[in-house]
Amino acid sequence: SHIGDAEATEITAAAKEALAALGPRDVTVLLAAIPYEDALVLARALPQVDFMIQSGNERGTVAPQRVDEKPPVVFSSAQRGQALGKLEVRVGAQRPFVDLADADRLQQQLKTVDGYLSFVRGNSKDVQELKARRQNLQRERTAMESPRTSTFRFTWQVLNSIYPEDAQWRAEVLKV
């Protein structure tokens, strides 16, 4: 069941009050034990939160999501013990936080453009467009990787019976 309008108002008011009582902070993570759809509603009302980790009645690994392209980034932890989510955060001077998965996609696009450029010769309109595309992609990627940029990376590790035996996995879990 979903929270009703009255309960949503109470939850939002209580969350805003708690956040105000915290005072200044570098990063704000909100844990929300409510259905995913309700977490998205709550996220819209709390742009001062950087990350919201939701747990509830959903199943599956959902990609991080921003409501209306604004903070917070909402993560669903609804794997019921079947997967472990890992959030790595780098706090820089610039906000909002940038998803490093986007930087990874830019890198793949750069490789694709470089591949095309390695096969075409001359100075045709197509070559000029590819070079311009490459320059724009590189500029975007450089901005994302600047030490001033706040970034995050979220990954899922699906659990199964081999992990208790795996030394690398054990070491990763012990970091947590």
> Tokens in use for 59?
């199943």
Q: What residue type is assigned to position 142 of the chain? A: T
User: Has residue 46 got a pLDDT over 90?
Assistant: yes
Using omega within 30 degrees of 0 as the cis cutoff, is the peptide bond preceding 64 cis?
no
Q: Tell me, what's the pLDDT at 161? A: 65
φ, ψ of residue 31 to 5 degrees: the values are -95, 125
Q: Give tens-digit pLDDT for 94-150.
A: 888 999 999 899 999 999 999 988 888 777 888 889 999 999 999 998 888 888 999
Distance from the Cα of residue 156 to its chain's centroid: 12
Task: State how far the Cα of 125 lies from the Cα of 38, in Å rounded to an integer.
Answer: 49
pLDDT over 60 at 3, yes or no: no
Query: In the predicted model, is pLDDT for residue 23 greater than 90?
Result: no
